[in-house]
């Protein structure tokens, strides 16, 4: 926890990322009335670069923006070392239950719907600043990331997205969009850093997850095949046997037999 002296010296820095600043004018006026530093970005990619370079104490983030939506931006912020622990408050008209849950599951600490009361948003910002200050040590500002650093962030974001969506993995273009790039660049990043294609990597993750489920659960082979994204138990069995030299049933018998014996 920061001591009172250090907390008094540090001026909180708030980054607001919204492509329509005129729609949140009341909040911006209120923020400028606080003893805080305020940075505004009206383009999500600009906001991402400013977040990495300036390392704000808290980010207020819209969802529906052109080019890169707020969910994609949050994925990248959560994978970048400079912003991994920065609180993100979503402030958006994207108000379905599914959208709110997605924002929170991606690491947002709060989700406020438009239209809003500026006083409520300020109160939530204060709360999350206080929570962040309990454990946060103020770090020096880092230089803007290199291209390789950006590639690593996108790679980690894509790997996490794949792992979380094995059962219904979307096409490559959609995976790339979810991490703020296009399919050719994402394919190049996977080839350069992992020496494989996106879907060869996904296949390997599916088989590893299937292997874990066979060893640690009583789910049927059919259920496991569906959970990890194979079209049928037959396809899963063929792929698993090619990788392990055993059928799923044989592997389970061996793995769970060893577990019981130890």
Listed by start position, the domains of the chain span: 4-133, 147-261
Mean pLDDT of 166-175: 95
pLDDT of 121 reads 96
Distance, CA of 208 to chain centre: 22
What's the average model confidence in pLDDT over 73-98? Answer: 94
CA atoms within 13 A on the CB side of 197: 6
pLDDT of residue 27 exceeding 90, the answer is yes
Calculate mean pLDDT across residues 84-95: 94
User: Average pLDDT over the chain, rounded to whole?
Assistant: 89
Tens of pLDDT, residue by residue over 205-233, are 999 999 999 999 999 999 999 999 998 99
Please tell me the predicted confidence (pLDDT) of residue 14.
97
CATH class of domain segment(s) 4-133: alpha beta
Q: 147-161, 192-206, 237-251 — which is least confidently predicted?
A: 147-161
Instruction: Give domain 147-261's CATH architecture.
Output: Orthogonal Bundle (1.10)
Tell the burial category of 39 from Cβ atoms under 10 Å away from its Cβ (0-12, 13-18, 19+).
middle
The pLDDT of 32-49, averaged and rounded, is 95
Q: Is the pLDDT of residue 144 over 80?
A: no
pLDDT attached to residue 138: 45
- For the segment 118-133, what is each residue's pLDDT rounded down to a tens digit? 999 999 999 999 888 7
Bridge partner residues of 16 (DSSP): 40, 60
3-state secondary structure labels for all residues of 27-91 = HHHHHHCCCCEEEEECCHHHHHHHHHHHCCCEEEECCCCCCCCHHHHHHHHHHCCCCCCCCEEEE
In the chain, % of residues over pLDDT 70: 89
pLDDT for 159: 96
Where residue 259 falls among pLDDT bands split at 50, 70, 90? low
**What number is the average pLDDT over the span 126-155?**
71
pLDDT tier for residue 182 given thresholds of 50, 70 and 90: very high
Give the mean model confidence (pLDDT) for residues 158-178.
95
């Amino acid at each position: 926890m920061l001591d009172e002296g250090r907390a008094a010296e540090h001026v909180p820095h708030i980054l607001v990322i919204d492509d329509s600043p005129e729609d949140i004018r009341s909040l911006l006026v209120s923020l400028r009335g606080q003893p805080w530093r305020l940075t505004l970005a009206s383009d999500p990619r600009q906001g991402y670069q400013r977040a990495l370079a300036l390392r704000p104490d808290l980010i207020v983030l819209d969802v529906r923006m052109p080019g890169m939506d707020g969910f994609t931006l949050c994925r990248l912020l959560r994978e970048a070392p400079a912003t991994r622990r920065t609180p993100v408050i979503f402030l958006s008209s994207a108000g379905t239950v599914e959208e709110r849950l997605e924002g929170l599951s991606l690491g947002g600490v709060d989700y406020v719907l438009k239209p809003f009361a500026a006083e409520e948003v300020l109160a939530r910002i204060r709360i999350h600043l206080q929570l962040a200050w309990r454990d946060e040590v103020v770090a020096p500002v880092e230089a803007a990331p290199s291209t390789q650093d950006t590639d690593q962030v996108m790679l980690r974001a894509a790997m996490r997205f794949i792992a979380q969506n094995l059962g219904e993995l979307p096409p490559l273009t959609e995976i790339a969009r979810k991490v703020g790039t296009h399919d050719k660049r994402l394919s190049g990043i996977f080839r350069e850093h992992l020496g494989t294609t996106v879907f060869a990597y996904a296949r390997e993750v599916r088989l590893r997850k299937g292997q874990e489920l066979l060893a640690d659960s009583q789910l049927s082979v059919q259920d496991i095949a569906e959970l990890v994204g194979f079209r049928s138990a037959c396809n899963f069995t063929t792929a698993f046997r090619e990788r392990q030299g055993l059928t799923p049933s044989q592997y389970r018998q061996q793995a769970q037999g060893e577990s019981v014996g130890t």
